[in-house]
Structure 1
């Protein structure tokens, strides 16, 4: 047996599904957008590291060329690079930067960190040599060459790190787009499904209303056809149709009893007319008393038979009355239930 659904259940199910899906789309989109904002900050920090490596190398060149001992800008660039690298490795909630998102980026951060340690060591050695009063040109030249060499390697690996963060962010953006398109398609299908369900409900209700109007306008109540509903109809429609069909069945039974009683009455009336005619014929034509008596006896039998038929008709009329009383009571009960 096919399990039917209530109209209210269908509407609640569709509404709950719509609310859940829309809420999920909004919540997921907001979350992913927040993640994109954090990714943008992370990419900005990683991109700034490239600039800082160049800034450090430039300051080393200027200090060596001018023979100055002003390391302020150099120290600031080194501190900023170290701080940025620490944020990328360990996260910083104040800057809204998340932890390392992938193992690939984590590995690259370790490589950059090792290169930075070597590069920073050369920078510190450069400062020591510049601050010393000793004439150590060979050592200074060696340190400067090491700084320039390591700077290029560090820059390339920082570029690679930035590319990884950018790719991760782009993949997430593509995921957001795919998710939004998929959610849009699901919403469209859900709206289409909702429309189909509403049209189905409307069709069933229209069929019921059409039959009800036909029943009200019908002048002939004999042999009323029952209301037919499909098994896919809603339970409310099926329940109402069953009630109406029960009512129609009782009306048809009452009409059937009435027609049968009417036929019996017509037969009895016809018999009585025949009996009357026979009496007139017998009295006028028969002179022999014995023959009259014989015919009277025959007529008496006919009267008895007619009387029995009248009794049967009376019983059927009484049954009809009982059925009509039951029908009236059922209608009153149905009315009281609705009230």
Structure 2
């Protein structure tokens, strides 16, 4: 039963250490992921924010081009090229940004793509000399619509990033609560071990029959070992006395063996009882020696 209890305690300790270690590692990994994800989120939102500005710059540079402002054409084409590059980053399936999206964002980006493509085709036709006022109005309208959609996409990106952070923080809180519960359980288990050890110490004092044994080191294991050692000395003395009694009984038996059958039977019973007592004392001494050895080993590990 004691071996089973010791095995149970060691198993509990292993499980406690394992759970706390896993929780701590998971919390650290989630924290690392949050920090890394936050940096990447900032890049995505920054890129989406640029798209709002580029959609307006495209319309603005087209208007300046109509006024024959110098460099307007180059700025117009540069804004369109940058918008296309950024859009590929945000929408292409192979892009690293694609993992930072959901169905809602993808739907908005498809609407952006439709308006941007139509606006781009009209701009190209206008630049080729087809100065249609209706096309020009459509370009302005699509530019405004693209701005609204990109503003909506930025908001959706921010909400999506916040949802991920909330989930991660909830995981951390959940793991922290588990760790707190495990720590409380560990404290309770430790208290139980201490109480059982105190009972064992008191029992070792009671079996030794001597409360005033001098122990220099003074910790609980040393005190228990000292009392058990004192009790072992008493047991060894009892074994020696029993052995001597058996020897005397054998000598008396040899003298009285020829007396009467009744006397012979009583002497044999007495001899058997003495031998049995001697064997039981011997087994008890062996078990106590083993217990003392285990306690000394535990004490050595504790003080190492």
Q: TM-score under structure 2 normalisation?
A: 0.70
Match of 1:329 in 2: 282
Secondary structure at 2:97's aligned position in 1? coil
1:53 is aligned to 2:87: no
Match of 2:102 in 1: 102
Contact 1:46–1:161, Cα closer than 8 Å, also in 2: yes
1:12 is aligned to 2:4: no
1:79 to 78, 81, 96: 81
CA–CA distance in structure 2, aligned partners of residues 332 and 211 of structure 1: 16
Query: How far has the Cα of 1:315 moved from its partner?
Result: 5.1
Measured against aligned partners, the alpha-carbon deviations of 1:233-288 in whole angstroms (never above 9, x if no partner) come to: xxxxxxxxxxx9xx9xxx9xx9xxx9xxxxxxxxxxxxxxxxxxxxxxxxxxxxxx
Query: How far has the Cα of 1:84 moved from its partner?
Result: 0.6
CA–CA distance in structure 2, aligned partners of residues 201 and 15 of structure 1: 17
Contact 1:49–1:158, Cα closer than 8 Å, also in 2: yes
The structure number with the bigger radius of gyration is 1
Tell me which stretches of 4 or more aligned residues in structure 1 moved more than 6 Å: 307-313
Match of 1:30 in 2: 32
Match of 1:141 in 2: 133
Contact 2:59–2:140, Cα closer than 8 Å, also in 1: yes
Paired positions, count: 248
CA RMSD of aligned residues (A): 3.4
Contact 1:126–1:140, Cα closer than 8 Å, also in 2: yes
C-alpha spacing 1:69/1:126, structure 2 compared with 1 (3 Å) = farther
Secondary structure at 1:188's aligned position in 2? helix
Q: Which runs of 5+ in 1 are unaligned?
A: 130-135, 220-243, 259-306
Q: TM-score under structure 1 normalisation?
A: 0.64
Match of 2:91 in 1: 89
CA–CA distance in structure 2, aligned partners of residues 164 and 328 of structure 1: 83
1:190 is aligned to 2:182: yes
Q: Between the two structures, name the one with larger relative contact order (CA 8 Å, sep ≥ 6).
A: 1
CA–CA distance in structure 2, aligned partners of residues 92 and 34 of structure 1: 20
Match of 2:123 in 1: 123
Secondary structure at 1:104's aligned position in 2? helix
Q: Which runs of 5+ in 2 are unaligned?
A: 212-227, 243-259, 294-304
Query: How far has the Cα of 1:26 moved from its partner?
Result: 1.6
